[in-house]
């Protein structure tokens, strides 16, 4: 039975396999929080970056913060949620197992 594309769009394992997803999670783990412009360094097109962020937000792996203050610039950033931290930790453990198996 095949899964329709619309149903797969927010499937955890499908999204984790998409280009840039793991890199975004790793970037946020390394930097604690990041602005959109910082995440551009991951190397994705604007369209793909926006799509991945939307998917990761929907899965609650990252959170988006926006602070608007009078007479000041707005502050906006992304960071890993607790769920995102746990998922990334498991992914890194899997990568380590695979690396050790290859040796």
**pLDDT tier at 1 (50, 70, 90 boundaries)?**
very low
pLDDT at 96 over 50: yes
Residues 6+ apart with CB under 8 A from 49: 20, 24, 36, 39, 40, 42
**Dihedral sign of CA atoms 41, 43, 47, 51 in order:** negative
Q: Which residue(s) pair with 34 in the sheet?
A: 78
40 touches 49 (CB < 8 A): yes
Strand, helix or coil at 70? coil
pLDDT for res 27: 98
Q: Which residue(s) pair with 79 in the sheet?
A: 33, 63
pLDDT at 91 over 50: yes
pLDDT per position as a tens digit, 26-68: 999 999 999 999 999 999 999 999 999 999 999 999 999 999 8
Radius of gyration of the chain (CA): 15
Report all structural domains of the chain as residue ranges with CATH numbers, in order of start.
5-102 (1.10.10.10)
**Dihedral sign of CA atoms 72, 78, 81, 86 in order:** negative
pLDDT for res 4: 58
Q: Average pLDDT, whole number, for the chain?
A: 90
Percent of the chain with pLDDT over 90: 76
Strand (E) or helix (H) holding 80:
strand 75-80
pLDDT per position as a tens digit, 20-32: 999 999 999 999 9
Q: Which residue(s) pair with 62 in the sheet?
A: 80
């Amino acid at each position: 039975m095949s899964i329709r594309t619309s149903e797969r769009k927010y499937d955890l394992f499908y999204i984790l396999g998409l280009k840039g997803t793991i890199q975004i999670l790793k970037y946020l783990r390394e930097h604690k929080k990041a602005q959109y412009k910082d995440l551009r360094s991951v190397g994705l097109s604007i369209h793909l970056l926006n799509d991945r962020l939307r998917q990761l937000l929907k899965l609650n792996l990252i959170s988006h913060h926006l602070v608007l203050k009078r007479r000041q610039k707005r502050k906006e950033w992304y960071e890993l949620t607790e769920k995102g931290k746990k998922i990334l930790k498991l992914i890194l453990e899997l990568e380590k197992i695979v690396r050790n198996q290859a040796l």
